[in-house]
Structure 1
Amino acid sequence: MQHNIAILIPCYNEKLTIQKVIHDYRKVLPEADIYVYDNNSTDNTAEIAYHGGAIVRHEYRQGKGNVIRTMFRDIEADCYLMIDGDDTYPAENAREMCQLVLDGKADMVIGDRLSSTYFTENKRPFHNFGNDIVRKAINKLWHPKEPILDVMTGYRAFSPLFVKTFPILSQGFEIETEMTIHALDKNFMLKSIPVQYRDRPEGSESKLNTYSDGLKVLLTIFNLYRDYKPMHFFGWVAGILFILSLLLFVPVFIDYVDTGLVPRFPTFIASAVLMVMTLLSLSSGLILDTNAKNSRKNFEIQMNIIRMMLKHE
């Protein structure tokens, strides 16, 4: 049975590498359709991709998240392989990654750079540090059965079920973090495969800003942890507020026991306010946790409907 594989390449100013990327992946997956979505490039990336045999389309909203959103909406396939156009991911693992999806063994296959050559090939030390921080944060907060080894890799394969049920909210480079957390929260099947990584060739510049994009990724983790695990999030907030309240209240209470007076009345009021905030935080966590569970139930129903629709196509 011939499967329809779509190779997705979001591009912004990749004229130095895009032709080689198309050639390498066509050699490994000759039956696949290769889509290059040009994201307002100021060079001739789109023209080179077109002459290289790719299906070229345009996304005029700037940002990788916007490009992936349009790709996922527009393209129909049995397996989706997402790569970058900068020639940092060799094509040798593409067939294996796609086969895991086509065999029903994974909804998302992660091309894990960090377990192979990333830390030696990548010449930007803060990128190394940031990748490590993000990976540890997600494993600590979500406790996956198997640790996620690379969160921010742009080399992934997806099932149609994941692609058509993933609500993309990010606009930029935080999209990979959002994908990973969504997959963990919704219990999709994940697989990681070590892949070789090579740094960009000379003259090719990264579009990722170490500090501003790194901050966006951390904020994405923070926001999704609050949204997906509200009881854990607000429980921690309530615990901190409760401890602060006790620290203020205990000395006042001791003075009251000893003298029958409350000499530090503002401290007592501050303690009471913190305790009220503790109760409010717990209440918020309980309410939002119920909403999150109902959302998961609705999501499961929607997945069943989409799965049936995909089978009938």
Structure 2
Amino acid sequence: MDKIAVLIPCYNEEKTIGKVVRDAIAALPEATVYVYNNNSKDRTAEVAKEAGAIVRNEYMQGKGNVIRRMFREIDALVYVMVDGDDTYPMESAAEMVDLVLNHNADMVVGDRLSSTYYQENKRPFHNFGNNLVRGSINRLFGCNIRDIMTGFRAFSYEFVKTFPILSKGFEIETEMTIHAVYNNMQIDNVVIDYRDRPEGSVSKLNTYADGFKVLKTIARLYRSYKPFGFFSIVAAVLAIISIIFFIPILQEYWATHLVPRIPTLIVCCFVMMAAVQSMFAGIILSTLAINNRRDFEMQLNMLQRHKEIDSGKEEL
């Protein structure tokens, strides 16, 4: 088991990966640096190896697939994940590692939005998307995460080995954040100085397509982690629709004692029944979610014992 593992997912980052690896080695001399090459068509793998990294390959395309492979294969007391585009300062990594090793943090977020992101980033829709995602998650899950989409984070062993990765692409950061928040893991923020990509380096993030995937991920995870809240919203919407169409029928009945729009009345009844069913579905799924939380806490206890055993063997 490594003490510190620096994880760098990469796709066509030949121009910047060498500097990122060298900066990581300089900032964390006792760390092992891993670069996972995701079908790059340039010299990313060769440059990373020359700079001193251990290079491995993930052949399924997508950042989520790369992170799944990294988390599965590598054991460490603390993990530092950083993008290979040289937009994050590795000088902040030591502080992030210290929060995990000595202050019980499960996830440390490299917060770009509180410093230079809005000045350095040249893509205005990315700014809007970051604010939208951050506001949505903080409101839906009752938390205060300052930067949801950052690619610079540190993790504990317990976080990495309990994180069920379902996303394939850039929505993985959103999934990480919600997993930590929902499972009551300790999250810390470290303000970092973001710098935009150097000239000649191209972003792989599609503002609209990937942004839509992120919003779908938020909705999916909210349904899974907060089923009572999700289905309560569905029930409320259905109930309001039913009531809106029922009110004219009721008014006409009071005035004439006749119900001329019987098909509409029947539809209103079915929609209201669907609202009631949604409410009960939320209650049932919420009970199951609580049981899943209990199982998760037991899994954490087992992982803690496993980590202590592995650490003891290495000391011997």
Q: TM-score range by the shorter chain?
A: over 0.9
What are the superposed Cα offsets for residues 48-75 of structure 1, whole Å, 9 maximum, x if unpaired? 1111110010000000001101101111
2:202 maps to 205
Residue number in structure 2 paired with 1:270? 267
Is 96-105 or 169-178 further displaced after alignment?
A: 96-105
- Which residue among 267, 283, 296 is the counterpart of 2:293? 296
Deviation at 1:258, TM superposition (A): 2.4
Q: Secondary structure at the match of 1:312?
A: helix
| Aligned residue runs from structure 1 range 14-163, under 5 A | 14-144=13-143, 147-163=144-160
Secondary structure of 1:150's aligned partner: coil
In structure 1, the residue matched to 2:161 is 164
Q: Secondary structure at the match of 2:188?
A: strand
Corresponding residue for 1:9?
A: 8
Report SS of the residue matched to 1:178. Answer: helix
CA contact (8 A) 1:239 1:278 kept: yes
The yes-or-no answer on 1:230 pairing with 2:227 is: yes
Q: Specify the alignment match of 2:313 in structure 1.
A: none
Partner Cα separation in structure 2 for residue 32 and residue 104 of structure 1? 19
What is the aligned partner in structure 2 of residue 244 from structure 1?
A: 241
Partner in structure 1 of residue 305 of structure 2: 308
Letter in 1 for 2:79: Y
Whole-Å Cα distance in 1 between the matches of residues 65 and 291 of structure 2?
28
Contact 1:248 1:270 in 2 (8 A): no
Distance (whole Å) between structure 2 residues aligned to residue 59 and residue 115 of structure 1: 33
Whether contact under 8 Å (1:19, 1:48) holds in the other structure is: yes
Distance, in Å, in 2 between the alignment partners of 1:158 and 1:87 is 20
Give the TM-score taking structure 1 as reference length.
Answer: 0.97
Q: Root-mean-square deviation (CA), in Å? A: 1.2
Deviation of 1:311 (Å): 1.2
Report how far residue 257 of structure 1 moved.
Answer: 2.4
1:249 counterpart letter in structure 2: F
1:189 aligned onto 2:180: no
- 1:174 is matched with 171
Q: Match for residue 254 of structure 2?
A: 257
1:121 deviates by 0.2
> Could you tell me the percent identity over the aligned residues?
59
* Whole-angstrom CA distance in 1 between matches of 2:69 and 2:186: 24
Q: Contact 2:2 / 2:75 at 8 angstroms: preserved in 1?
A: no
- Contact preservation (8 Å) 2:232, 2:278: yes
Aligned counterparts of 1:104 and 1:92: Cα–Cα separation in 2: 19
Q: Give the drift of 1:3.
A: 7.2
Aligned to 2:314: none
The DSSP-based 3-state class of the residue aligned with 1:6 is: strand
Give the match's secondary structure for 1:57.
strand
Q: Take 2:227 and 2:2, find their aligned partners in 1: how far apart are those partners?
A: 40
Task: Point out the more displaced range, 303-312 or 107-116.
Answer: 303-312
Secondary structure of the structure 1 residue equivalent to 2:5: strand
Extract unaligned runs of 5+ from structure 2: 311-316
Shift of 1:197: 0.4
TM-score after normalising by structure 2: 0.96
Gap runs ≥5 in structure 1:
none
Question: Comparing 79-88 with 290-299, which one deviates more in the overlay?
Answer: 290-299
